[in-house]
Structure 1
């Protein structure tokens, strides 16, 4: 495989926030010329496909300011510094849904927008769900409502663009593929 590595010549830190930071790198291209790259740095995140005993998916609906609309998503959240993804997945499941699980399995990890960001999401599937008596509360600036839906209902919500984010679309398509494989 041919290498198209870009050598970093300099980095200018533009912004450092609570969730992301922005830097501009000057790079040397494989042909010797230089260019600039605007890069969002993110600590990484987890997302959880939470399945009930009757194969319904626990989803959260929340307002996303960047989109200026509500969307329906699988539970997810940002990794805290030094936090293991499987610990974060259990924490986010509990905080966003009030559920815990007897089984949490890693499925895959994927970059969300590699053209300009280094965010890596670790996707898990949670089974054996049970309601926590005193669940950890959600972040104080997070407002969500819960839904339990089937894969078919999720596909309808994708068509209506109520489910409209990559991690949730990937999760639904994963479940759809699993159903198809079981049906064979």
Structure 2
């Protein structure tokens, strides 16, 4: 009888396996949801150099390569076969925002900057920060203080024997004795 009772949970478990869908019948990842229920975590990928209008405005033709590198940072791509071209590529894929991709190309003649090709959609610094900010503050700010009318509508606080003003004037509550502060401090010069 006991072996028969012990086999019921095993049979129930095996019977439940027929309910599970097969690998081929599982729905695929569509949009932002897996199986139509779960939103997976997507890794934030940031690659390259963040360049803004303010940074690019400081770079002028005729600057040496070292100065361009100081202002814009090291380029993401430098080609061995085209030493006169630096590619500043920036991509960001962040959950909750649209993916961004930009390419700024610096061309050199010898050691001097010849030209800087900048995309039209290069944002200003404040615009870039606003574009990647996924924190949406609540529209309604919490109320921090009561008005005088709300204060007067509150019930008066209950006074107990411990919080009476005479107890504070008499000193510490009975049964509490505190040592003087100067007894615990080390003496100077010893």
TM-score range, shorter chain: under 0.3
Q: TM-score, normalised by structure 2?
A: 0.21
Greater share of residues in helix: 2
Higher relative contact order (CA 8 A, sep 6+): 1
TM-score by length of 1: 0.21
Indicate the structure (1 or 2) with the bigger Cα radius of gyration: 2
Write 1 or 2 for the structure with the bigger share of strand: 1
